Amino acid sequence: VWGLPKDAWAGMTGLGDSMSPGSLSKLVQSEAPAFRARFHERTPPAEQRYWRGPVLWQTDGRNWSTGSLELLPLLTDPGPRRNGAAYDYSITLEPHNKHWLLALDLPVKLSIPAIRTLDYQMLAHRPVRTRTRYNGSSLTRIDTGPLNSTLRTAALQLPDGVSTRVQDLARSWREHSSRDRGVVKQALTHFNRQDFVYTLEPPLLGSDPVDEFLFVTRRGFCEHYAAAFVVLMRSAGIPARVVTGYQGGEYNPLGDYWLIRQSDAHAWAEVWLSEGGWQRVDPTAAVAPERIEHSLDTAGGAAGAAASFRLPDSDLLGRNLRKLRYLLDAMNNQWHEWVLSYGPQRQLEFLASLGIARASWKHMALALLLLTGLLLLGIALWMLLRQPAARDPVQRAWLQFCRRLARLGLVRRPGEGPRDFASRVTTARPGLAGRVNAITELYVALRYGKPSDHPAINATRLQRMVQRFSPRQRPG
């Protein structure tokens, strides 16, 4: 009635359209579910379970943003050339008040209306403020083809005042390798061999966060590694961008789906190479390979300490608690899918399961009319088949006799027996006594007496007596 306040949806948890040092490390402290995914046939291995969200292009050295999203869908898209395994899956996305529709990297289509941008973001037409279900299809590798000048310029943008140390490091890799792929390999080797630490509690960074992270603190979360890697690649003349989303997830065997929590939030990089186009590079995996195989343990640790990861419970109590957690989440998921989330989308899925291909509202209306018609036809047939049997001739003759008397105002009362009725009639009309008593006694004998030797003859006799009976006829 009064309308929603402007910040009614502000409390929803999820990825934003920007990233800065510490933004994702705060998000992963939440154990709230981000979405659930069920693969239809085969499941990709852990190193391919990257769930794509916002793609970040522009930076001022500290903050990263998506840039001009409204321009990306309008650019000419030559279409991807398939170059990897395909996976089909279903996603139940929790509301997050943004346009992102999370999908396995790299998505090629979704079952609901969505905009696919040139950087392979899937965007809903409206902010996702209710639980949303959709099917998706993704490829593990896509040859994205040549890079147009607009995107190349955006992918090489550098903030003002990139430090000399950062530029010199990138220049040294370029001097050792003329090929972009070789520069990428040297960068990953640098992160792997130097004393970098992957931590949930990185130290605060000053005015030049990339320089301080690379040469002073060397402690950071995934957003630090992704941002620094992209700046280094751009400094070496290689188009690059930051991708945020989720990585991994926990499999629930009782519900046969993957639960991806906010604690699985992740950031990685993509570089454009002449052979194959955009390709994913995860510098975090060079520092902490366990991050790809296991989910983070978000329990608090000392500032700057290396992050720990969840390992399978080995004790009996831990295994039973994990099974209980799986059971509760599976029940909660079924409740959401079949009760709370039942609506037009679930109706369309139900029609599709009945064999109505590409179910639409038109198909739904036709199916509803058909089912309603069949239901009404079945009810009509059932009612016809259950019609009461026709009254026997004795009863039919007696009722006809009663109707004729009713025309004289002598109406048989409910529950009044034949002889009582006859007595009341003869008292009121003594001239009819003979015929009334004869019909009544014959009816009582046929209806309540012992079976006669010739019941058909007696019944016929009763019918004839009633037909000849005329209450207005005076006796002769």
With a pLDDT cut of 90, the percent of the chain lying above it is 42
67-113 pLDDT, tens digit each:
765 556 555 455 556 666 789 999 999 999 999 999 998 898 899 99
Residue partners of 274: CB distance under 8 A and separation at least 6: 180
3-state secondary structure the chain: CCCCCCCCCCCCCCCCCEECCCHHHHHCCCCCEEEEEEECCCCCCHHHCEEEEEEECEECCCCEECCCHHHHHHCCCCCCEECCCEEEEEEEECCCCCCECCEECCEEEECCCCEECCCCCEECCCCCCCCEEEEEEEECCEECCCCCHHHHHHHCCCCCCCCHHHHHHHHHHHHHCCCHHHHHHHHHHHHHHCCCEECCCCCCCCCCHHHHHHHHHCEECHHHHHHHHHHHHHHCCCCEEEEEEEECCEEECCCCEEEEEHHHEEEEEEEEECCCEEEEECHHHHHCCHHHHCCECCCCCCCCCCCCECCCCCCHHHHHHHHHHHHHHHHHHHHHHHHHCCCHHHHHHHHHHCCCCCCCHHHHHHHHHHHHHHHHHHHHHHHHHCCCCCCCHHHHHHHHHHHHHHCCCCCCCCCCCHHHHHHHHHHHCHHHHHHHHHHHHHHHHHHHCCCCCCHHHHHHHHHHHHHHCCCCCCCC
Catalytic entry in 105, 208, 264, 282: 282
* Higher per-residue pLDDT: 84 or 116: 116
255-276 pLDDT, tens digit each:
889 999 998 999 999 999 998 8
Over range 393-406, report the average pLDDT.
90
Cis preceding linkage at 106, omega within 30 = yes
- Looking at residue 73, its pLDDT comes to 58
Known catalytic residue at 60:
no
Catalytic entry in 99, 224, 266, 329: 266
Residue located via tokens 């995107």: 151
| Four-residue CA torsion sign, 169, 170, 172, 176 | positive
- Looking at residue 355, its pLDDT comes to 60
Long-range CB pairs of 431-440 (<8 Å, 24+ gap) are 431/474, 431/475, 432/471, 434/475, 435/465, 435/469, 436/405, 438/465, 439/401, 439/465, 439/466, 439/469
- Looking at residue 364, its pLDDT comes to 63
Burial class (CB in 10 A: 0-12, 13-18, 19+), 281: buried
Known catalytic residue at 266:
yes
6-30 pLDDT, tens digit each:
444 444 557 888 898 888 877 777 8
- Looking at residue 31, its pLDDT comes to 86
Cα–Cα distance measured from residue 412 to residue 109, given in angstroms and rounded to the nearest whole number:
79
- Looking at residue 3, its pLDDT comes to 46
Known catalytic residue at 282:
yes
10 Å Cβ neighbour count for 64? 27
Average pLDDT for the chain: 82
181-233 pLDDT, tens digit each:
999 999 999 999 999 999 888 888 888 999 999 999 999 999 999 999 999 99
Catalytic entry in 222, 224, 264, 329: 222
Cβ(432)–Cβ(473) below 8 Å:
no
Residue 415 has pLDDT above 60, yes or no: yes
User: In the structure, what pLDDT confidence band is assigned to residue 146 with cuts at 50, 70 and 90?
Assistant: confident
331-382 pLDDT, tens digit each:
877 776 666 455 565 666 565 656 655 555 666 677 778 888 899 988 888 8
- 101-136 burial, b at 16+ Cβ within 10 Å, e below that, comes to bbbbbbbbebbeebebbbbbbbbbeeebeebbbbeb
Cα–Cα distance measured from residue 423 to residue 47, given in angstroms and rounded to the nearest whole number:
101
